[in-house]
Amino acid sequence: MNKLDKRVYGVIGISSIMANWNADFSGNPKSLSNGEIFGSDKALKYTMKKKWDEEDKKVLYLKSYIISDNGYLIPRTLKERYEQIFDTELKNEKTGESEKVLKNLFSAIDVKNFGATFAEAGNNIAITGAVQFSQGMNKFEDPVANDQPILSPFRDPKAKEKSKTEEDAKSSTLGTKIVSEEAHYFYSFVVNPLAYNGYEELGVTEGYTEDDFKEFKDAAIKSATGFDTNSKKGAENEFSLFVETDLDLYLPNLAELIKFEKREDDNSKHKIIFKDSGILENRDEIIDIEIYYNDAVLELVDFPASAKLFNIYTGRELGEK
């Protein structure tokens, strides 16, 4: 396998229309103390891991379940998940097997991209991932949260104890679904193939390869769109920017340079505006720029003229016949 010989900087954009891309513990869209809505990197990574898991790739950090001895459905421990996907048993703390553990960890696609913290059976391993994300800030002005009462088809058997009237006791239980009417989240990311140099010297990995990046890139374009749950139906990948550069070029958080301007009416498009295209123009250190986006509803403004444009759903280069 060929090791990736370039850095990649980019931005992933997620649209959330009548959906809740990342909820806090109250069920509301996650927000800062000033009310600004954002999505955590964990929300985006989760959709990527689910995509890889559905493709039968090894994914370590994903919740799975067992039936306990007393009959309860419970999540696996990290040790149990490790032993499940690698079909091996972790030895006790007195028998060192860090080399084997590291090789197994690097064979999991989520660890290969995002790194790992693994403290089990005497192993104390922390791997900084080759792929690092910022938090995904919402760029849509004045997002509105919408509370939708949900009527259950079942009566709460304890309702009579808790209610004041007989009518309340006869009622079905009530829940609430909270969604954003519209929000647009933008995550910055960087892929650093040099992150695993020390582990290559130990002989436990071949490093971050072109195939690893290909898997990440595919997930960065498709994973949110393909992830269907009740709360996230309506959350989709709408934009992905990939800037391939020399290994010694360092770029800032590109999502900070993105401005989102909502459309004026139903006949126009939202605008994604790049506020400093000069940072990517006419630089020998930049190898290639690709942008995948939903061109049916989005218009790109002031992005580098050299960028290759693709439809994010079909993968076809725009302008091709």
Q: What is the pLDDT of residues 95-136, one digit of tens each?
A: 668 899 999 999 999 999 999 999 887 888 999 999 999 999
Cβ(189)–Cβ(14) below 8 Å:
no
Q: Average pLDDT, stretch 51-79?
A: 95
313 pLDDT higher than 90: yes
SS3 annotation, the chain: CCECCCEEEEEEEEEEEEECCCECCCCCECECCCCCEEECHHHHHHHHHHHHHHCCCCCCCCCCEEECCCCCEEECCHHHHHHHHHCCCCCCCCCCCHHHHHHHHHCCHHHHHHEEEEEECCEEEEEECCEEECCEEECCCCCCEEEEEEEEEEECCCHHHHCCCHHHHHCEEEEEEEEEEEEEEEEEEEECHHHHHHHHHHCCCCCCEHHHHHHHHHHHHHHHHHCCCCCCCCEEEEEEEEEEECCCCCCCCHHHHEEEECCCCCCCCEEEEECCHHHCCCCCCEEEEEEEECCCCEEEECCCCCCEEEECCCCCECCCC
Q: What is the pLDDT of residues 238-260, one digit of tens each?
A: 999 999 999 999 999 999 999 99
**pLDDT score for 168:** 56
Q: What is the pLDDT of residues 10-38, one digit of tens each?
A: 999 999 999 989 888 888 888 898 889 99
What does the buried/exposed string (b/e) look like for 251-285 if buried means 16 or more CB atoms within 10 Å of the residue's CB? beebbebbebeeeeeeeebbbbbbeebeebeeeee
How big is the CA angle at 291 (ends 285 and 294), to the nearest 5 degrees?
A: 170
Non-local CB neighbours of 242 within 8 Å, separated by 6+ positions: 8, 9, 10, 217, 220, 288, 289, 290, 291
Question: Tokens at residue 56, please?
Answer: 């039968």
**pLDDT score for 321:** 42
**pLDDT score for 118:** 94
Question: Tokens at residue 215, please?
Answer: 């898997």
How big is the CA angle at 55 (ends 237 and 10), to the nearest 5 degrees?
A: 35
Number of C-beta neighbours around residue 245 at 10 A: 20
Q: What is the dihedral of CA 313, 315, 320, 321, to 10 degrees?
A: -60
Q: Strands 298-301 and 270-274, how do they pair?
A: parallel
Q: What is the pLDDT of residues 165-221, one digit of tens each?
A: 555 555 566 667 778 889 999 999 999 999 999 999 999 999 999 999 999 999 999
Cβ(296)–Cβ(304) below 8 Å:
no
Q: What is the model's pTM?
A: 0.90
**pLDDT score for 93:** 62
Placement of tokens 């994010």 in the chain: 312
Domain boundaries, the chain: 7-53+129-142+178-311
Q: Which residues share a beta bridge with 177?
A: 148
Cβ(93)–Cβ(122) below 8 Å:
yes
Confidence of residue 266 (pLDDT cuts 50, 70, 90): confident
**pLDDT score for 117:** 95
Q: What is the pLDDT of residues 136-161, one digit of tens each?
A: 999 998 776 667 666 677 776 765 55
70: exposed, middle or buried (Cβ count in 10 Å: 0-12, 13-18, 19+): exposed
Which residue type is seen at 233?
A: K
**pLDDT score for 169:** 52
Q: Average pLDDT, stretch 278-298?
A: 94
Confidence of residue 294 (pLDDT cuts 50, 70, 90): very high
Confidence of residue 70 (pLDDT cuts 50, 70, 90): very high
**pLDDT score for 233:** 72
